[in-house]
Amino acid sequence: MLETKNLNSPKIVYLKDYKIPDYQITTIDLHFHLKAEHTTIRSQLAISRYLGAKPSPLVLDSEELELLSIKLNGQILTEKDYQQDTKSLTLHSVPDQFTLVIETRIYPQHNTALSGLYISSNNFCTQCEAEGFRRITYFLDRPDIMARYTTTIVANKASYPVLLSNGNLIAHGDHAHGDHFAKWEDPFPKPSYLFALVAGTLSKIEDEFITSSGRKVTLSIYVQPHNIDKCEHAMASLKRAMAWDEQVYGREYDLDNYMIVAVDDFNMGAMENKGLNIFNSKYILAKPETATDTDYQYIEGVIGHEYFHNWSGNRVTCRDWFQLSLKEGFTVFRDQQFSASRGSPTVKRIQDVNHLRTYQFKEDSGPMAHPIRPESYAEINNFYTTTVYEKGAEVVRMLYQLLGPKGFRKGTDLYFNRHDGQAVTTDEFVRSLEDANNADFSQFRLWYRQAGTPELHASGVYDPKKNTYTLTVKQTCQATPSQSHKDPFHIPLALGLLDSKGNDLPLRLAGESTPIAGTRVMELRQAEEVFIFKDIPHKPIPSLLRNFSAPVKLHLNLSDEERCFLLAHDSNNFNRWEAGHQLAVKILLNLIRDYQQGKPFQLNLTFIAAIGKILTGNEPDKAFVTHALTLPSEHYLSEFMAIIDPEAIYQAHRFLRQNLAENLKDSFSAMYESLRQTDPYRFTPKDIGRRALRNTCLGYLMELNDPDIYHQCFQQFIQADNMTDTIAALSTLVHTESPERDNALHIFYEKWHQDPLVMDKWLSIQAISRRPDTLKIVKQLTQRSVFKLTNPNKVRALIGAFCQHNPVNFHATNGEGYSFLGDYILKLDPLNPQIAARLVSVFNLWRRYDNKRQILMKEQLERIANVSKISKDVQEIVIKSLN
C-alpha cells in the first residue's frame, strides 16, 4: 500500500448510501450585482421538508463563499443560529416550510478553476456541472433538487452590455450610476448544475426555427465581436440538429429562445445549461481559412450533443452523479446517430470505434477502471470519462440493436413521457425500454454494474457431410479494481457468413424453417454459446461483430488471405475496414517482436498488395479509403502488449509506413494529383473525403524523405485556401529536418498569431513531432506569449498533446518527459484541479511498462503525492494509480 507523508485517502461517496434529501427547494430567486472587483449574490430560497422526513439540520453546500447575511422568514440570523465551515453552512433548527435569503460575495476574477462564476476575456460566465453552483451561493447542490429559477443580473452597461441567463427574458432596463439590469425566468424546474449566467461585451448572429407544431424559436449565438464571422456553420448545425431530433425522436424544443455563448476559457467542450448553452470557442468558431474539416465535424457533433440534452439530460435528468451515463451515454449515442446521418455511417462508425478502442479500452485496463454507473467516487469530476460517455453510448447502442429502431423509439417515447420533469436513474431508463417492448433486460443490466472489456473467443468448424457450420463463442472478462469476479454479459453479436464470391449466405439455425439473409444478431448470454447453421454449401468465411455490435475484444483466428478477402468483399463496410485493420495489427505486432529480438524487419507483400488494391480501386467513398489506408495508432497497438515498448512500436510503425510509401509511390502520387482541388472549399461529405484521401497520400509520400516531395508539400502549404490542406502539409513537414519546416512554422505563426484557436494547432503540431528534440521545443513553447497556463485549451494543445499523443518522445528512457509532466501537474493543480487531474491520468498505466520506465513514472506519482496541498481531483487518481 502507498505510504506518503502528506497523502490521506479522500472521503469516498458511495452509490449504496444514496438517500432522498430531507429538504426540497421549489423556487430560487437570484440577484447578481456584477463588478470587476467582486460580485454580490442574493438568493431567496423557498424550502420545505420532504413529507415524512424527520426534523434534521439543513446543510447547504458551499465553496469559497464569503457570507454576508442570512434571513429566515425575514428574521436576521446570527452566528449562534448556524454553523459555517469551508464546505457547508448548517442551520440546526428550521421549520417545515420557510424562506431563506442569503447574501454572499465572490471574486470571479481570481477563479482560475473555471468552476462556478468566473471571468473569460473580460466576460462573466459560469460552469456549474458537476458541483460548481456551490461556488456561487449556498445551496443543496445535487441533481435531484429541481427548482424553478428567476435570475436578475445588474452590471455596468458600458462594460457588460449583454446580460444572459436561463429561460425567457421578462424584464430589462436601466439603473442609476450607469448600471442596467435583465431579469430571466426559466419555467422548467432544473437542477443547479444547469444554471447559467453570461455577461459582457458580445456580438450575436440570430436566426429562427419553426418547430413541428408551428412555434417560432429565436436562435442566438453570442461571441466576441472579432469572431462574428465564424458562426454560420454552428447556426446551420443547430438548425439541422433541431429538425433531426423532431424527426427521429419526436422531441420538440420547449422555450421561445435558444442561446449559445462561446468562451475561450472552458474546462470542457460545452455545457447544456437550459436554454443557454456555454461552449468552448473551439466548438463554435469556424470558417475555411481557420478551421479544418475535423473541426467542422466536431462543431456539428457537439452542437447536436448539447441540443439533444434538452430532453436527454434537462427535461429528464440524473438523480445523482452515479447516473451520469444516463444523460451522457444516451446523448452521445444520439449525437453519433445525428453525425452518421450527415455523411458516411460507416466512416462515422469507424471513427467512434477507433476512439473507443484507443482510449476507453485503455481506461478499462487501468487503475481507474469503473462501470458506466460507478459504485463510488472521491471526486465526481474524475468520472467524466470515456467509460461513462463513449462506452455508455455503446451500451445504449446495444439496446437499440436488440429492440430495433421502432422498439427503441417506443421505449424512449415512454421514458420521456413517464419521467418528464424528474431526476431518475439508469434503471428507470432501461425499465422504460423493457415496458414499452415487453422485454427482459435483467442480465443486460450487468453492463451498468460491471467494469472491464469483455473478450470473445470465437472458432468455427465446417462439416461438409452435414453442410453445417458450427460457431462456438466463449466470453470472459478480466478482473478490475474492486471487481474480481464477472458474470457473463448479455452481448449482441452481429454476424454474417460469406461464400467464395463474398456474398452473404442465408443463415438458418436448427429448428428454424426459414433462413435469414444478410446480417444476423445472435444474443450471447452464457459463458459459452454454440450456434449451428444449417444448409451451408461450402466452408464459409465468418464476418463477426459487424458494425462493432458490442464493445468487446474479438479473438478470431483468420489467415492473412481470409482477412484480405474480407477487406475486398465483405458486404458490411465496417468489417471490410476491420479486416484490414486487424491484419495491420498482426503485421505490426510481428514487426515489434522482430525489433525487440534484434531481427531484421521483413516486408509483408500480401498486405502491401491489399492496400494497393484499395488505393487504386473504384471505391466511391474516399473517406472510407482514407481509413482503410490508415495504420492502427501506436496507442492502440500498446493495448496488445503485456509490457508496452514505445520505441519498438514506433520503429515498427515507421517501417511499415515507409515500405507502403516505397512500394506504392506511383499510386500515392497519382491519387494525390487526381484529387487536386479546383473548386472553392465546401463542407460536404464528398469534399471532406477527397481532401482526407489526398492528404493521406501526401503523408505517405513524405515518408520517402525526398527533397522534391518536401517542396511539393511546402507548395501545398503556401497555396492552400483552407485550413484542412494547410494543416495537413504543416503536420508532415514538422517531422522533418528540412528547411521548409522552419519556414512553414514561421509563416504560419506570423499569419495567425492573433487567433488563439489557430495557434492551438500550431502548438499541437510541434508537440507531436517525432523529432528527438521535441521536448526541448515544447519547453521553449511554454515560454511563448501564445501559451497560457490558465487556459485549458492551451494546456491540452501543448502539454497534453506531447504527453498523450507523442509516446516515443514522452516515454524516452531518460525520464525527462515524465519529470516535465510532473512539473506541470504541480503547477496546474492549485490553479485548475480538473485539468491537472486529466494530465496525471497519463501515468495510470505505469505498471505496464518496463522496469526502468516504471521506476521513473512511479517517482513522479510519489512526488505529486507528497506535496503538502493537493486537490482531491489529483489525489484520487494518484492513490488509485499507486495502490
- Catalytic residue ranges: 306
149 in Cβ contact with 30 (< 8 Å): yes
Amino acid identity for residue 55 in this structure: P
Q: At what angle do helices 646-663 and 573-596 cross, to 10 degrees?
A: 120
> Distance between CA 632 and CA 367 in Å, rounded?
24
Phi, psi of 225 (to 5 degrees): -50, -35
> Distance between CA 81 and CA 855 in Å, rounded?
54
763 in Cβ contact with 781 (< 8 Å): yes
Q: How far is CA 569 from the centre of its chain?
A: 33
Q: What does the block give as the cell for 686?
A: 464528398
Report the candidate in 563, 550, 556 with the shortest Cα–Cα distance to residue 523. 550
> Distance between CA 398 and CA 698 in Å, rounded?
38
Region of residue 424 (phi > 0: left; psi between -120 and 50: alpha; otherwise: beta): beta
Q: Match 467512434 to its residue by C-alpha cell.
A: 352
List all residues 6 or more positions away from 750 whose beta carbon is below 8 Å from its beta carbon: none
Amino acid identity for residue 755 in this structure: D
383 in Cβ contact with 321 (< 8 Å): yes
> Distance between CA 503 and CA 497 in Å, rounded?
8
> Distance between CA 332 and CA 349 in Å, rounded?
13
| Residue 795 burial (10 A CB sphere; 0-12, 13-18, 19+) | buried
Q: At what angle do helices 392-419 and 426-437 cross, to 10 degrees?
A: 70
> Distance between CA 308 and CA 242 in Å, rounded?
8
Residues forming beta bridges with residue 139, ordered by sequence position: 61
> Distance between CA 240 and CA 434 in Å, rounded?
30
> Distance between CA 407 and CA 390 in Å, rounded?
22
> Distance between CA 149 and CA 167 in Å, rounded?
9
**Angle CA 609–613–614, to nearest 5:** 120
- Collapsed DSSP state (helix, strand, coil) of residue 390: helix
Give all strands (DSSP E) within 414-454, no chain letters: 422-424
- Collapsed DSSP state (helix, strand, coil) of residue 721: coil
- Long-range contacts from 752-760, C-beta under 8 angstroms, 24+ separation: 752/290, 753/786, 755/290, 756/264, 756/281, 756/786, 756/791, 756/793, 756/794, 757/281, 757/282, 757/285, 757/290, 757/291, 757/793, 758/290, 758/723, 759/786, 760/282, 760/793, 760/794, 760/796, 760/797
- Long-range contacts from 808-812, C-beta under 8 angstroms, 24+ separation: 808/634, 808/646, 808/647, 808/649, 808/650, 808/770, 809/769, 809/770, 809/772, 809/774, 809/775, 810/646, 810/775, 810/842, 811/646, 811/647, 811/849, 811/853, 812/775
62 in Cβ contact with 32 (< 8 Å): no
> Distance between CA 173 and CA 160 in Å, rounded?
13
Cis ω before 130 (30° cut-off from 0)? yes
Where are the alpha helices (H) located in 768-850, listed in sequence order? 774-781, 792-795, 801-805, 807-810, 816-828, 833-840
Whole-angstrom CA distances from 628 to 10, 588, 614 are 46, 15, 7
